[in-house]
Amino acid sequence: MRSDHIRPDRRTLLKVALGLGAAASVHLIAADPASTPTRPARAAGTPPAAAPGPPSGLPGRPPAYRLEPMTAATPPRFRPAAPPVRTRPFEELPDLGRSMVLTFDDGPHPRYTPDILATLRKHRVRAMFFVCGEMAEGNRDLLREMADDGHVVGNHSWSHPLIPGLSRAAIRDELGRTSDIVDATLGTPPLWYRAPYGAWNRNSFEIGADLGMEPLAWTVDTLDWTTPGTSTIVRRVLGGAAPGAVVLSHDAGGNRSQSVAALRRYLPRLLDDGYRITVPQRV
């Protein structure tokens, strides 16, 4: 089972390797909370998009869903990452006020991602999806739905490897191929990336920056990949809620029905507590 969790001793070694200096600040603004994410209607005369088949190498995967075609609208463009190259990822996002960021890794998955998107749309909020290229390749319709709803699509590598064990060429291939899929589908490459398992190294920071991306980790780990129960996931999110917090969940990589159910419960409670659920935008 794939996850973004590493044992405490492994995390400690990684932190030492990355250095404990604070990351240089980046100016962030919150997305407009007043605009409602919607699915635009298909323009007249536009032929329906063919439903993609499931990617190879994923046995037992359910067929991809046929979604409504998207319009040609693309998400707003931002400036790419600029020097200095970071020595550790962002773990929280400052300057957002009483806001939080929800993130989902490993997808898109045709069984779980649509339910997560529907819940976010119902509550008129945006999130970040760190996608794996091997999943995105056969589910480009879901990438378009994410972008059309105002979500941020980030890079989570192609095949979810342990990055520090790869050569520079292999890291560039993992990140570059995924950025290419996102760019070809949405018309703009991802501006954020997250290392699988939270395992970063200097090569990944340098190559990510060269591809125009900023590294983002997380503040709250739901550990939903362990399927601890819906109530436990809800409790972890609410217990870690704080201004600028970044919540890690998953929409693929295993059975994510608990993650879907938990989102339906904790999202309205966060909103009732006065939190704005938004996404960062670099300017």
Mean pLDDT estimate for the chain? 79
| 282 SS3 class | strand
Contacts of residue 189, defined as CB under 8 A and 6 or more positions apart, other chains included, come to 179, 180, 182, 183, 211, 212, 213
Output the pLDDT for position 252.
Answer: 97
Region for residue 209 given its phi and psi (left: phi exceeds 0; alpha: psi -120 to 50; beta: otherwise): alpha
pLDDT digits (tens, 9 = 90+) for 19-77: 333 333 343 333 333 333 344 343 444 443 433 333 333 333 332 222 222 223 333 34
Considering only 9-13, 144-148, 172-176, 261-265, which range has the smallest mean pLDDT? Answer: 9-13
* 250 in active site: yes
pLDDT > 80? residue 83: no
pLDDT > 70? residue 15: no
Phi, psi of 64 (to 5 degrees): -65, 145
User: Is the CB of residue 208 less than 8 Å from the CB of residue 231?
Assistant: no
Output the pLDDT for position 96.
Answer: 77
Two tokens at 204? 């990944």
The ranges assigned to domains in the chain are 99-283
The predicted model gives 177-184 an average pLDDT of 98
β-strands 280-282, 28-30: how paired? antiparallel
User: Is the CB of residue 247 less than 8 Å from the CB of residue 103?
Assistant: yes
| DSSP string of 58-112, one letter each residue | -TTPPPPP-PPPP-S--PPP-PPP-SSPPSS-BSS--S-SSEEEEEEES---TTT
Check 115, 148, 250, 251 and give the catalytic one: 250
pLDDT digits (tens, 9 = 90+) for 86-99: 999 999 887 778 99
pLDDT digits (tens, 9 = 90+) for 147-167: 999 999 999 999 999 999 999
Residue 4's pLDDT band (boundaries 50, 70, 90)?
low
pTM of the entire structure? 0.74
CA neighbours closer than 13 Å in the CB half-sphere of residue 219: 19
Selected residue with higher pLDDT from 3 and 225: 225
Whether the bond between 47 and the residue before it is cis, its omega within 30 degrees of 0, is no
Q: How far apart are CA 185 and CA 179, in angstroms?
A: 10
Selected residue with higher pLDDT from 278 and 27: 278
Check 4, 105, 141, 149 and give the catalytic one: 105
Q: How far apart are CA 258 and CA 250, in angstroms?
A: 10
pLDDT > 70? residue 255: yes
Output the pLDDT for position 280.
Answer: 84
Selected residue with higher pLDDT from 14 and 193: 193
User: Is the CB of residue 98 less than 8 Å from the CB of residue 71?
Assistant: no
Residue 251: Cβ within 10 Å count? 29
pLDDT digits (tens, 9 = 90+) for 101-141: 999 999 999 999 999 999 999 999 999 999 999 999 999 99
Residue range 99-283 forms a domain whose CATH class is: alpha beta
* 160 in active site: no
